[in-house]
Amino acid sequence: MRSAPLVERGAPGGVGGAVRGRPRVRRGLSRSSPRPYRGGGGWAPWLYLAPALVVLGGLLLYPIYQLGLISLFEYTQAQVSGGEPATFQGVGNYAELFGDAEFWRVLLATVVFAAACVVSTLAVGCALAVLLTRVRAVPRLALMLAALGAWATPAITGSTVWLLLFDPDFGPVNRILGLGDHSWTYGRYSAFFLVLLEVVWCSFPFVMVTVYAGIRSVPSEVLEAAALDGASQWRIWRSVLAPMLRPILVVVTIQSIIWDFKVFTQIYVMTGGGGIAGQNLVLNVYAYQKAFASSQYSLGSAIGVVMLVILLVITLVYLRLLRRQGEEL
């Protein structure tokens, strides 16, 4: 017997979300029972949230505010050491940045490079997740362990190992491919390609494991029925699995975009700080070089703001996608 009716269902008129918005559909009996601490709670949720809010406010929100502020001032070595007062520039730094052809080149390279990384990572991750469901335990375990190994490899060690693999003098790859002493990091595109390979290598495991976990949760009868109806593997993937996995695919896509847009270590280490004459710069490394290598903190901050805006736009698109799927927050 449920003794729940003894408890009031929260104040009439309701504090908070239970009343606002569309009525929530509950599945199952236990879900429809009154919940004593919902709606009420008073200060309790805020107490639980306090540590998170303090940390995020102090180390995320406030730095973002400061980032915006610095980007509006003249802030170089002289101001940092206190020799000269910081002068307000308005949008001056942005004007300088947008007037610089190099910025646009780096921005384009960042977007194209990140997009290529995302698409390759997703393609490889999904394909291997499907492959995992098609094989017996031993090959599955082998692939899973290898992927976990790649995932566990820190970005900096992954970068140096891939450099050794593709080293023109001592690396095995050129020998296997018969490329002689071809230098992968010399040309702009081959350097980007090498970094892309490393990024895909260390980030496809997250996609593979997540999508595999998702496929496993799809009832096998559904897939068997589709197979019995004569659907091809591709058809099963496109018409049955992909729609059911859409929430998962959205999550891994967004995570990949976030991670690949922010690649720093790989580019920095593998191309020696942005490649010959800056040919392999992406926004992150560009901002770092501006700020810490040439002490132009305000320009570096302005680049940071641009990155922030781009990623926020992507976030808004993501939120709209979630809304359209009727996801309850």
Residues 178-217 that bind another protein (CB under 8 A): 201, 209-210, 212-217
Query: Quick check: 87 binds another protein (CB under 8 A)?
Result: no
Which one of 96, 105, 119, 133 is in contact with another protein (CB under 8 A)?
A: 133
> Which tokens sit at 97?
């940045």
Query: Quick check: 126 binds another protein (CB under 8 A)?
Result: no
Least distance to another protein, CB of residue 24, Å: 10
Q: Which stretch binds another protein (CB under 8 A): 52-60, 84-92, 95-103, 114-122?
A: 52-60
Least distance to another protein, CB of residue 104, Å: 18
Least distance to another protein, CB of residue 144, Å: 8
Query: Quick check: 275 binds another protein (CB under 8 A)?
Result: no
Which one of 87, 294, 315, 325 is in contact with another protein (CB under 8 A)?
A: 315
Query: Quick check: 78 binds another protein (CB under 8 A)?
Result: no
Least distance to another protein, CB of residue 50, Å: 8
Torsion of CA 146, 151, 156, 157, to 10 degrees: -20
Which one of 56, 78, 177, 242 is in contact with another protein (CB under 8 A)?
A: 56
Query: Quick check: 284 binds another protein (CB under 8 A)?
Result: yes
Least distance to another protein, CB of residue 80, Å: 8
Which one of 92, 116, 160, 321 is in contact with another protein (CB under 8 A)?
A: 160
End-to-end CA distance of the chain: 31
CA 239 to chain centre: 27
Distances in Å between the alpha carbon of 76 and those of 13, 14, 93, 290? 56, 53, 12, 10
Query: Quick check: 276 binds another protein (CB under 8 A)?
Result: no
Helix (H) or strand (E) holding 243: helix 242-244
Distance, in Å, from the CA atom of 299 to the CA atom of 111, rounded to the nearest integer, reads 20
DSSP string over 187-203: SHHHHHHHHHHHHHHHH
Least Cα distance to 287 among 299, 295, 277, 276 occurs for 299
Q: Which stretch binds another protein (CB under 8 A): 30-38, 83-91, 94-102, 186-194?
A: 30-38
Query: Quick check: 293 binds another protein (CB under 8 A)?
Result: no
275, with CB counted inside 10 A (0-12, 13-18, 19+), is: buried
* Closer Cβ to another protein, 108 or 213, answer by number: 213
Distances in Å between the alpha carbon of 97 and those of 80, 107, 214? 21, 11, 44
- Phi, psi (degrees; rounded to nearest 5) at 88: -70, 130
Please give the size of the binding site for another protein, defined by CB under 8 A.
Answer: 120
Least Cα distance to 248 among 200, 205, 208 occurs for 208
Query: Quick check: 242 binds another protein (CB under 8 A)?
Result: no
Which one of 119, 264, 279, 321 is in contact with another protein (CB under 8 A)?
A: 264
